[in-house]
Amino acid sequence: MDDSTVSPARRRFFLTILLGGVGAALAGLTAWPFWTYLSPSKGAGAGEKVKVPREKVPIGQAHFFTFQGHPAVVIQPSAGKYIALTAVCTHLGCIVKWEPDKEDFLCPCHGGRYSPDGQVTGGPPPKPLESYPVALQGDQVVIG
């Protein structure tokens, strides 16, 4: 055997390292599309306003709807005044209920309570409910 050439074992080691490198590259190139495919879309319609017909929100009642991918609520505590808030409780994420007789929000999971404008009035929630800008357009309430 010619001693100046690389031994088969060395050559094989080099080839294996190369194969490993190419394999890693291919694995990455495969994982990327699969990961992106499964990832949630970046808030489809983030910034999109939602219109709710006025008759759906009687005085003293609440109307629940979807806003930017999560549940939200709009109430009319007094004639002509509309408030829109997120309906996701800031404690652990349950959806709050509106109590027309008590005129407040009650979270059924751990008894958190919020005033009509979203301030915490009782229970474990650490933060108030986030509010959204509301405007009136004819017979529609525009949130966002």
According to the binding rule CB under 8 A, does residue 40 interact with another protein?
Answer: no
Do residues 112 and 91 make contact, with C-beta atoms less than 8 angstroms apart? yes
According to the binding rule CB under 8 A, does residue 8 interact with another protein?
Answer: yes
According to the binding rule CB under 8 A, does residue 46 interact with another protein?
Answer: no
By beta-carbon proximity to another protein, the closer residue of 11 and 81 is: 11
> Alpha helices, DSSP H only, in 6-142?
8-38
According to the binding rule CB under 8 A, does residue 12 interact with another protein?
Answer: yes
According to the binding rule CB under 8 A, does residue 110 interact with another protein?
Answer: no
Q: Which of 108, 144, 107, 143 is nearest to 128 (CA)?
A: 107
According to the binding rule CB under 8 A, does residue 11 interact with another protein?
Answer: yes
According to the binding rule CB under 8 A, does residue 6 interact with another protein?
Answer: no
Task: Tell me which amino acid residue 107 is.
Answer: C
Q: Which of 3, 39, 102, 133 binds another protein (CB under 8 A)?
A: 39
Q: Where are the beta strands (DSSP E) in the chain?
A: 50-53, 62-67, 70-78, 81-86, 97-99, 104-106, 113-114, 120-122, 131-132, 134-137, 140-143
According to the binding rule CB under 8 A, does residue 36 interact with another protein?
Answer: yes
Q: Which of 3, 5, 29, 79 binds another protein (CB under 8 A)?
A: 29
Q: How far is the CB of 25 from another protein (least distance, A)?
A: 6
Exposed, middle or buried by CB within 10 Å (0-12, 13-18, 19+), for 38? exposed
* Cα 75 to Cα 54: distance, rounded to the nearest angstrom: 10
Positions in the binding site for another protein (CB under 8 A): 8, 11-12, 15-16, 18-19, 22-23, 25-26, 29, 33-34, 36-39
